[in-house]
Amino acid sequence: MSPNMKSITTDRRRVGGKRSRTGCRTCRARHIKCDEAPGSCRNCTSSGRRCDGYDLYRLPLGGRTQKKDSRSQVQVEILNGFRWKMTSDERRCLSYFQNHTIPTLLGLFDSTLWEKLVFQISQSEPAVYHAVVALSAIHYDSEAKGMPLPMDQPCNTWHQFALEQLSRAFNLLTKRRTSQDPRFCNVTLVCCLLFVLSDLLRGHYDNAFSHLQSGIRILQDLQAHRQLIAPTPREELVEQSLVAAFAHLDIMSTHFGVGGPLLCIENELSDDHSDCDPSIPFQNLQDVLRAFEPYLSMVFQFISPCMYRPPDHIGIDYEELHLQQLQIWSGMSRFIRRFKQFYSNMYARLSRAEQRGLDIVEIWLLGLSVSLKTCLVGGDFSVLDCYTSDYQMVIIRVEAFMQKYPERPSISIQCGIIPAVFHTAFACRDYTVRWQALELLWEWPHREGTFDSNWCVSLASQAMKLELETNIMSGQIPEDTTPIVTNRAGQLLSAKELVAIITVHQRRMRVSNINGARDASMVEGDFSPLDLLESVKCMSGWSCVRAFNALAAQMETYPPTGRIQ
Three-state helix/strand/coil letters over 347-362:
HHHCCHHHHHHHHHHH
**312 residue type, one letter:** D
Domain for residue 398, yes or no? no
**How much is the pLDDT for 329?**
96
Query: What is the spatial distance between Cα 457 and Cα 253, in angstroms, rounded to a whole number?
Result: 19
* Residue 553 in domain: yes
279/218 same-domain check: no
Cα–Cα distance between 206 and 542 in angstroms, integer? Answer: 12
Which pLDDT score is estimated for 224?
67
pLDDT digits (tens, 9 = 90+) for 336-357: 999 999 999 999 999 999 999 9
Same structural domain, 254 and 281: no
pLDDT tens string 490-500: 999 999 999 99
Final residue belonging to a domain, choices 243, 268, 293: 268
Distance CA(269)–CA(267), nearest Å, equals 5
Query: What are the DSSP E strand ranges found in 436-532?
Result: 447-448, 451-452, 483-486, 492-494
DSSP character for 67?
A: -
Q: Give CA–CA dist 423/367, Å, rounded.
A: 8
527 to each of 205, 463, 531, 552, how far by Cα in Å?
A: 21, 12, 7, 13
Domain presence at residue 253: yes
Residue 47 sits in the same domain as residue 15: yes
Q: With respect to residue 103, please indicate whether it lies within any of the assigned structural domains.
A: yes
Per-residue pLDDT at 33: 82
Task: Give the number of other CB atoms < 10 A from CB of residue 233.
Answer: 5
Sheet holding 411-412, edge to edge: 411-412, 447-448, 451-452
Query: What angle in degrees, to the nearest 10, is found between the helix axes of 285-306 and 318-346?
Result: 160
Phi, psi at 528, each rounded to 5°: -90, 140
Question: Domain count of the chain?
Answer: 4
Task: Say if residues 477 and 495 touch (Cβ distance below 8 Å).
Answer: yes
Sorting pLDDT into bands at 50, 70 and 90, what band is 78? Answer: low
Domain end residue (candidates: 218, 248, 268): 268
More confident residue, 422 or 219: 422
* C-beta of residue 238 within 8 angstroms of C-beta of residue 189: yes
- One domain for residues 193 and 147: yes
Q: Clarify whether residues 375 and 452 are in a common domain.
A: no
Q: Does residue 16 form part of some domain?
A: yes
| Residues 173 and 249 occupy one common structural domain | yes
End-to-end CA distance of the chain: 45
Q: What is the pLDDT of residue 419?
A: 97
Same domain, 245 and 279: no
Same domain, yes or no, for 254 and 280? no
In percent, the amount of the chain with pLDDT more than 70 equals: 82
d(CA 42, CA 33): 11
Residue 441 lies in a domain: yes
- Check whether residue 224 and residue 118 sit in a common domain: yes
| DSSP β-bridge partners for residue 412 | 448
Q: Give whichever of 34-43, 75-84, 175-184, 326-335 has the largest mean pLDDT.
A: 326-335
Can you give the residue range of the structural domain that contains 494?
A: 412-565
**Residue 25: band (very low, low, confident or very high) from pLDDT cuts 50, 70, 90:** confident
Q: What is the pLDDT of residues 394-410, one digit of tens each?
A: 999 999 999 999 999 99
pLDDT at 234 over 90: no
**92 & 44 share domain:** no
pLDDT for 102 equals: 96
> What pLDDT score was predicted for residue 221?
86
Long-range contacts of 240-246 (CB under 8 A, 24+ apart): 241/111, 241/112, 241/113, 241/117, 242/113, 242/117, 242/186, 242/189, 242/190, 242/193, 243/219, 244/111, 244/113, 244/293, 245/111, 245/113, 245/193, 245/413, 246/189, 246/193, 246/212, 246/215, 246/216, 246/219
Q: pTM of the entire structure? A: 0.85
Same domain, 311 and 251: no
User: What is the residue type of 181?
Assistant: D
3-state SS, residue 539 = helix
Average pLDDT taken over every residue of the chain: 83
Residue 87: partners with Cβ closer than 8 Å, 6 or more residues away: 25, 28, 29, 55
Express each pLDDT in 86-133 by its tens digit.
888 999 999 999 999 999 999 999 999 999 999 999 999 999 999 999
Instruction: Considering only residues 221 and 526, tell me which one the structure prediction assigns the higher pLDDT.
Output: 221
Domain identity same for 454 and 352: no
Q: How confident is the model over 167-183, as pLDDT tens digits?
A: 999 999 999 888 778 78
Query: 75 lies in a domain?
Result: no
Rg (CA), the chain: 25
Share of the chain above pLDDT 90, in %: 55
Q: Which of 239, 268, 297 is the last residue of a domain?
A: 268
Express each pLDDT in 517-553 by its tens digit: 444 444 454 567 787 777 888 888 899 998 888 888 8
